[in-house]
Structure 1
Amino acid sequence: MPASATIASAMTAPAQTSPPTTPDATSIRLSVAPMMDWTDTDCRVFHRLLAPHARLYSEMVHANAVIHGDRAKLLAMDPSEHPVALQLGGSEPALLAQAARIGAGYGFDEINLNCGCPSDRVQAGRFGACLMREPALVAEGVAAMIAAVGTLERPVPVTVKCRLGVDDDHDWDRFRGFVDTVADAGCRMFVVHARNAWLKGLSPKENREVPPLRYDWAWRLKRERPDLQVIINGGIASLEEAVAHLDHADGAMLGRAAYHDPYLLHRLDVALFGGALRPRQALLRELRPHVEAQLARGVPLRHITRHVLGLYHAQPGGRAFRQVLSEGAHRPGADWSLIERALAATRPSAGLAA
């Protein structure tokens, strides 16, 4: 049977089971944003050790890559990562449906559609933030994905991550109309990066910083559409900010703050879900089995240690910790002993030779 016929069949056949419409409410209170080149499986395993209750997201993967690419690499996931979501890029409903079905089959707990990335490459492929101007197409894609995963033995929710608008779209009704159109297709959870995306004139980095944040729009969406799950994303840089958003929405999603200061994730997990704060070195040492397993598979140490460089952010010894890892992780034969050296360098009496 041709692939197109298989996709169509998956989209139109009656679902054997009904996919859950939303993720578990507890798991979305704290989450880590999908970040290109950063939130790979090694990063997520580390973040899971820091935040046992947080929801984790993959890097964005284009639907075509999932269908035709190296799935073992693109969809790599350690069992410890759950709950973890796969973020897809794309705009063709049939391809999104096939990719969603593959991702759910690989064990991801949620399939999330990217409607917020503003990069030129993404725009050229007609996906990401430019889809904010095509709510009917997004709704069609969401419906196709829901139908595709609904026939699986373990169906999963389909969600959307979006902006408030693009360029000079500052019309509340247009934003709410986008959400309502997509919600009518079956999406019940929206991760709202609470600023516009500028499709021309700003780099992706500038798009994360220059357009003003308008959290009040996301809060208003939750007030006016209380049946939807609304997650706030964008510019959240402290424990206090993240906790404050929970008065207005279902969850807070951290991005670069969690990556550059990963201990913040641990502090948030403890604040929101209970438990006692653990020392940084104890948390990092729990990563050792994963590191050694990856080394045995031929993964260079630098691919893992790049994700832990911020663990001692703004702490005594933090610079020495980063220096030991940065200078040594690329060397042939680098192994766990280098990480122990980096930890030793954080002690007040230690030097880099420790």
Structure 2
Amino acid sequence: MEHHENSTGPDLRRAARLSVAPMMDWTDRHCRYLHRLMSRHALLYTEMVTAPALVRGDARHLLEFDPAEHPVAVQLGGSDPAELAAATRICGDQDYDEVNLNVGCPSDRVQSGCFGAALMQQPALVADCVAAMIAASPVEVTVKCRIGVDDQDPAQVLPHFIETVRAAGVRRFTIHARKAWLQGLSPKENRDIPPLDYPLVLQMKRDFPDLHISINGGITSLDQAQAFLDTGLDGVMVGRAAYHTPADILLQADQRIFGATAPARRAEDVVLDMVPYINRHLAAGGRVHNVTRHMLGLFAGRPGARAWRRILSQGASRPDADATLLREALAQIGGGDRLSA
């Protein structure tokens, strides 16, 4: 098979200056469409999809996305090189801009399949996996990892891990600046309890200046993101803050992180743009709740935010719910008189 150089296109490298993390049950296609309306440039990630589910199962529907979501990356979980290669080929055929290998997820289900964070203990296997993925498709292959697991010494294992995987052709890493404790902590606890080690991630950028390195973990504001970029890191990945308070992270991102000159969008305009999207989703047999559940935090911290959440939460479960629910909820937000526009 023809071998493709795993080259990072300038557009994707630029998009990765700010990305929204892959988050299970959250970053589905409806969430990503909403986020894309808020930022034209940020890189968006799917929820993790396991390679076995794509190759042997019936999970291909999880790969569906709206072309408006570009630039968009799919995250795969797995540890079998041939299976990951086949899954990468499928994702490339679906026109994803990037395929990311998950070497950070600490859930029990993931460990039992020996992938996710458990792979931090097997850098040679990760190298075999990414080499097979790179050979399978021209789509760029990247890795998201932790700084180590359990009793590993991150200062020892992380450089060795990156060096091993870089030798297999990966040029872009996102590093979640915490260990994962595979024994004794739940997946939820693993997102908060292991201490953050930002200096180690900064050191990796100094040690591997040729690589594109993004930092992830505990980042809750654009000020914090910009500060990391100012240190010389190439990118910042934001997780829960981008989901729970998307306006704070995404509405100003194009101007502040990407240097766009067009005025920032308003959350109210984004809501109105979601109306035709919801109408299309309903026409295809979907439900309002599939979309509006991702919009609850849109006005976080603003007057009327609680009423907005309440109307969407209660109203979306009604069998006859439609996009008029958005207008009803928006009327609770200060400035909602613009609705006739």
For residue 71 of structure 1, report the CA deviation from its aligned partner: 4.3
Residue equivalent to 1:289:
276
Equivalent in 113, 118, 123 of residue 101 of structure 2:
113
Moved over 6 A (4+): none
1:93 equivalent in alignment to 2:85: no
What do the CA deviations read for 1:42-65 (whole angstroms, capped 9, x no partner)?
000000000110000000000011
1:271 equivalent in alignment to 2:256: yes
Contact 2:5–2:169, Cα closer than 8 Å, also in 1: no
For residue 349 of structure 1, report the CA deviation from its aligned partner: 9.5
Contact 1:30–1:269, Cα closer than 8 Å, also in 2: no
1:76 equivalent in alignment to 2:64: yes
For residue 169 of structure 1, report the CA deviation from its aligned partner: 1.6
Residues 320 and 225 of structure 1, relative CA distance in 2, 3 Å threshold:
same
In structure 1, how many angstroms separate the alpha carbons of the residues matched to 2:328 and 2:8?
47
Equivalent in 222, 226, 229 of residue 205 of structure 2:
222
Equivalent in 218, 222, 231 of residue 235 of structure 1:
218
Residues 334 and 217 of structure 1, relative CA distance in 2, 3 Å threshold:
same
Structure 2 segments unaligned to the other structure (5+ residues)? none
| Correspondences of 1:157-172 after superposition (within 5 Å) | 157-172=140-155
Residues 64 and 349 of structure 1, relative CA distance in 2, 3 Å threshold:
closer
Equivalent in 212, 234, 243 of residue 195 of structure 2:
212
Residues 129 and 30 of structure 1, relative CA distance in 2, 3 Å threshold:
same
Range that drifts further, 282-291 or 250-259: 282-291
1:252 equivalent in alignment to 2:252: no
Residue equivalent to 1:65:
53
For residue 345 of structure 1, report the CA deviation from its aligned partner: 1.5
In structure 1, how many angstroms separate the alpha carbons of the residues matched to 2:326 and 2:131?
46
Residue equivalent to 1:51:
39
Residue equivalent to 1:340:
327
Residue equivalent to 1:39:
27
Q: Tell me the number of residue pairs that the alignment of Structure 1 and Structure 2 aligns.
A: 332
Residues 182 and 44 of structure 1, relative CA distance in 2, 3 Å threshold:
same
Structure 1 segments unaligned to the other structure (5+ residues)? 1-12, 150-154
The one-letter code matched in structure 2 to 1:167 is D
In structure 1, how many angstroms separate the alpha carbons of the residues matched to 2:165 and 2:281?
40
In structure 1, how many angstroms separate the alpha carbons of the residues matched to 2:336 and 2:2?
67
1:322 equivalent in alignment to 2:305: no
For residue 348 of structure 1, report the CA deviation from its aligned partner: 7.6
| Correspondences of 1:115-154 after superposition (within 5 Å) | 115-149=103-137
Contact 1:21–1:186, Cα closer than 8 Å, also in 2: no
- Cα RMSD, aligned residues only: 1.5
TM normalised by structure 1 equals 0.91
Contact 2:45–2:73, Cα closer than 8 Å, also in 1: yes
What do the CA deviations read for 1:75-120 (whole angstroms, capped 9, x no partner)?
0110000010010000000000000000111011000000000111
Identity of aligned residues (%): 53
**Secondary structure of 1:177 counterpart:** helix
Residue equivalent to 2:291:
304
Residues 349 and 239 of structure 1, relative CA distance in 2, 3 Å threshold:
closer
Contact 2:304–2:334, Cα closer than 8 Å, also in 1: yes
Equivalent in 11, 14, 18 of residue 26 of structure 1:
14
The one-letter code matched in structure 2 to 1:346 is I
Equivalent in 193, 196, 201 of residue 179 of structure 2:
196
The one-letter code matched in structure 1 to 2:247 is Y
